[in-house]
Amino acid sequence: MAVLVEKSDPEEEVLAGKSTLNRLELTPETANAKARYKKIAADHAAVDRLFVEVFLAAHRQAPEQIILDLDATDDPLHGNQEGRFFHGYYGHYCYLPLYIFCGEFLLGSRLRPSNIDASAGSVEELQRIVKQIRAVWPQVRIVVRGDSGFCREQLMAWCEAEGVDYLLGLAKNERLKTKIKEALQLAKRQYQETGHAARIFKEFYYQTRKSWSQQRRVVAKAEHLEKGENPRVVVPLPARICLRRAAVERRPATTW
């Protein structure tokens, strides 16, 4: 392995083993460089920057648009680790790390306990990543995408203030179901007539009773499949983008 990584003297310049890497993670930044087991310390800010630097360097020229995907998933635990909590959705003890991807590039990762909201810390990570990207690509259009776990006032308000577009899922509730009731009935009739999946799109303005600071545009997909109703609701990109996608995908948008 030392030869493969071009060590000039493999007999003397040994590679770091798992114990050395463990010290890299656990050694405090103020460690004494002369200490036998505390000779290296991680620069966490530099590690964070590296992920974005690799992403930027992979492009010969700035793209017109990039999509930053937010995701939280379970990291199962099998012992009494620090920060161990049971997560009801996943049904076991786990951590709930936050990931930010752009295509196949990982731009950010944070290990978190699972007793938190899925969106916790996402604004802070986006602030850092977007600032670094715009320093190199000042004109690039940035879109943040996530499921309903990220549809939070803090995240949407930050995006609106910073000129970042977003496309976020919105959890269904009785008020939303009432607003798309007629569209769902129409989709059901179309399915019964044709035997094929039917999709009707509807646009309206919506505001939660407490958590949102203002009304926001919402797009609903009233879909009827063989298994029955399958509605979806998102807080979307500007209308021109949604309309363009509906045309490309050849989906009926009769109720816009």
Band of pLDDT at residue 33, cut at 50, 70 and 90: low
Terminal CA-to-CA distance of the chain, rounded, Å? Answer: 61
pLDDT above 70: residue 233: yes
Residue length of the chain:
256
Band of pLDDT at residue 4, cut at 50, 70 and 90: confident
Q: What is the pLDDT of residue 21?
A: 64
Band of pLDDT at residue 201, cut at 50, 70 and 90: very high
C-alpha torsion 56→59→60→64, nearest 10:
-100
Give the mean model confidence (pLDDT) for residues 18-30: 64
pLDDT above 60: residue 31: no
Beta strands in the chain (DSSP E): 65-72, 75-76, 85-87, 92-95, 98-102, 105-110, 141-146, 165-169, 198-206, 216-225, 228-229, 232-235
> Considering the chain, what is the average pLDDT of its residues?
86
What are the structural domains, with CATH classification, of the chain? 44-169 (3.30.420), 174-248 (no CATH)
Does pTM surpass 0.75?
Answer: yes
Q: Which amino acid is at 193?
A: E
